[in-house]
Amino acid sequence: MNLNSIVMDMDGTITRFNLDFRGARRLLLQDLEERGLRTPDMNEQTSIYVLLTRLKENVEPNTFATIRKRFYAYVGDMEVVAAQEAKLYPGAYETLNQLRKAHFKIALVTNNGRAGTEITLTRLGLNALFDAVVTRDDCEEVKPDAGPVRKALGNMRANPKDAILVGDGPMDIMAAKAAGLPSVAVTSGPFSGEILLQSEPDYVLGSINDLPRLLEYLNNRT
């Protein structure tokens, strides 16, 4: 292999980011309930991505766009607040810096909005470590769709054949598969190893601190 580019998730992968996802889902469900658009299969255990996907399939485009915009505005405010408290996982900065010095291109792809992401990156001194940053505000799609991954690869002029994706959740692994990239699941986030394995990543690591060694092994393998 000739891996020289990395698509990296943020929350749960390089940062510890506390966001009330259940509260966000509850707000979206309340909005749908008031509009008479909530269906029996929509509940607080349903992911935000699935809720919005089901909604998109059942309403006309303008209604969907209005609801999504209102919801993302609310979540964006939550993210800005949470970004003030976001913390790097131990060793994450050093690992990213090591990868940069080894001449890897690195793109950050997150389902968070641009405002909260920029606060997090600036506070933690990470801006210079990424060749591209793609948030939900920069792409029509979000993970697990392939759109954000492909946009990140294009922005940093990387060949998909030479890239790998690293993330802590099933949506990351699904996005990698959709974009045709090998995937690395890290168990540093909130998802159990069992759940991660069900998404069938190509590799599993304890944290991104193990990534340089894996990349060295893969690139030296004949």
Mean pLDDT calculated for residue range 81-98:
96
Give the DSSP per-residue string, 112-170: S-HHHHHHHHHHTT-GGG-SEEE-GGG-S--TTSSHHHHHHHHHTT--GGGEEEEESSH
Mean pLDDT calculated for residue range 75-81: 93
Task: Quickly state the pLDDT bin for 222 (edges 50, 70, 90).
Answer: low
End-to-end CA distance of the chain: 8
Structural domains present in the chain: 5-16+89-220 (3.40.50.1000), 21-83 (no CATH)
Tell me the CA distances in angstroms from 26 to 29, 32, 51, 71, 129, one per residue in order. 5, 10, 11, 11, 35
**From 38-52, 66-80, 100-114, 127-141, the region with the lowest mean pLDDT:** 38-52
